[in-house]
């Protein structure tokens, strides 16, 4: 005859305390709570992964801005529609004016005014080897811009993503940033907070049999 151990005695006591049976189709309340916790944990993991990916993207953009002069610009108007509609965000890279070719979509900085992003329609040498005089036109416009631009560097559009400008603008709102920070902190604390079931399992595994 085997000698009862503390673990076997606990298991017997638990089995005695369990209900003999449940009506057909009825699920134990503990199972329902466990399923809800499981779904909550999956959603938390998904949100954490999304936050982690967003963080990685932000870090990559910072590195690219510092090492490759790659930044973002937002399109508030539709002068480049339908190629780049209003509300788009474009990834641009600063390049020397000597590399500009007709057909490129570039951003030119203007003193005392907002930058303009249009398609290059002509280019000619400037006063120095590094300088170019270019004319540009928006794809939605009937004619070239009113005057040419004398530039030594421009930002050429690499690609654009439509419809995300408003989201990026919202990220600059202090109230939105504060809400996102609080939500992210709450999510991390909730995801990593010890669960009672986990604590019980750890205590059980640490007790000798």
What is this structure's pTM? 0.57
Q: What is the pLDDT of residue 9?
A: 44
Report if residue 126 sits inside a domain: yes
**Residue 9 covered by a domain:** no
| Confidence at residue 53, expressed as pLDDT on a 0 to 100 scale | 73
CA distance 30 to 39: 14
Is the pLDDT at 17 greater than 50, yes or no? no
- Distance between CA 99 and CA 153 in Å, rounded? 9
Mean pLDDT of 89-111: 93
Question: Is 165 or 119 the better-scoring residue by pLDDT?
Answer: 119
pLDDT of residue 102: 96
Q: Per-residue pLDDT tens for 23-53?
A: 555 555 555 555 556 676 777 677 767 766 7
| 120 burial level (CB within 10 Å; 0-12, 13-18, 19+) | buried
Q: pLDDT class for 187, splitting at 50, 70, 90? A: low
Question: Are 76 and 89 contacting, i.e. CB atoms less than 8 angstroms apart?
Answer: no
Of residues 55 and 83, more confidence is placed in 83
Cβ proximity of 160 and 85 under 8 Å: no
Q: How many domains does the chain have?
A: 1
Check residue 173 and give its pLDDT: 61
pLDDT given for residue 111 in this prediction: 84
In a domain, 31, yes or no: no
| CATH classification of the domain holding 144 | 2.10.109.10
CA angle 85, 87, 91 (to 5 degrees): 85
Confidence of residue 142 (pLDDT cuts 50, 70, 90): very high
Report if residue 93 sits inside a domain. Answer: yes
- Residue 184 belongs to some domain of the structure: no
Does residue 132 or residue 46 have the better pLDDT?
132
Taking all residues of the chain, what is their mean pLDDT, rounded to a whole number?
Answer: 76
Q: CA–CA separation, 207 vs 34, rounded Å?
A: 24
Q: Is residue 12 part of a domain?
A: no
Q: Indicate if the pLDDT at residue 200 is higher than 80.
A: no
Range of the domain at 150: 69-167
155 domain residue, yes or no? yes
Contact (CB, 8 A) for 96 and 80: no
Check residues 62 and 130 and name the one with the higher pLDDT.
130
Q: For residue 106, is pLDDT > 80?
A: yes
What would the DSSP string read from start to end of 115-183? Answer: EEEEEEEEEEE-SSTT-EEEEEE-TT-SS--SS-EEESEEEEEEEEETT-HHHHHHHT-HHHHHHHHHH
Rounded distance, CA 166 to CA 119, Å?
A: 24
Residue 124, Cβ density class (10 Å: 0-12 exposed, 13-18 middle, ≥19 buried):
exposed
Position with higher pLDDT, 190 vs 132: 132
- Asked, for residue 56, whether it belongs to a domain, the answer is no
């Amino acid at each position: 005859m085997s000698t009862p151990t503390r673990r076997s005695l606990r298991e017997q006591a638990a089995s005695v305390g369990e209900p003999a049976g449940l009506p057909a189709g009825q699920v134990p309340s503990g199972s329902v709570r466990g399923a809800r916790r499981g779904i909550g944990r999956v959603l938390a993991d998904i949100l954490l992964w999304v936050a982690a990916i967003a963080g990685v993207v932000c870090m990559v953009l910072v590195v690219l801005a510092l090492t490759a002069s790659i930044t973002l610009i937002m399109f508030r108007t539709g002068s480049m529609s339908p190629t780049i509609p209003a509300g788009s965000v474009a990834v641009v890279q600063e390049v020397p004016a000597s590399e500009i070719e007709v057909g490129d979509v570039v951003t030119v900085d203007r003193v005392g005014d907002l930058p303009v992003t249009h398609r290059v329609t002509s280019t000619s040498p400037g006063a120095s080897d590094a300088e170019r005089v270019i004319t540009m036109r928006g794809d939605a416009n009937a004619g070239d811009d009113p005057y040419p631009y004398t530039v030594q560097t421009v930002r050429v559009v690499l690609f654009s993503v439509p419809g995300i400008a408003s989201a990026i603008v919202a990220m600059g709102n202090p109230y939105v940033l504060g809400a996102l920070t609080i939500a992210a902190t709450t999510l991390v604390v909730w995801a990593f907070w010890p669960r009672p079931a986990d604590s019980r399992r750890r205590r059980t595994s640490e007790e000798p049999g």
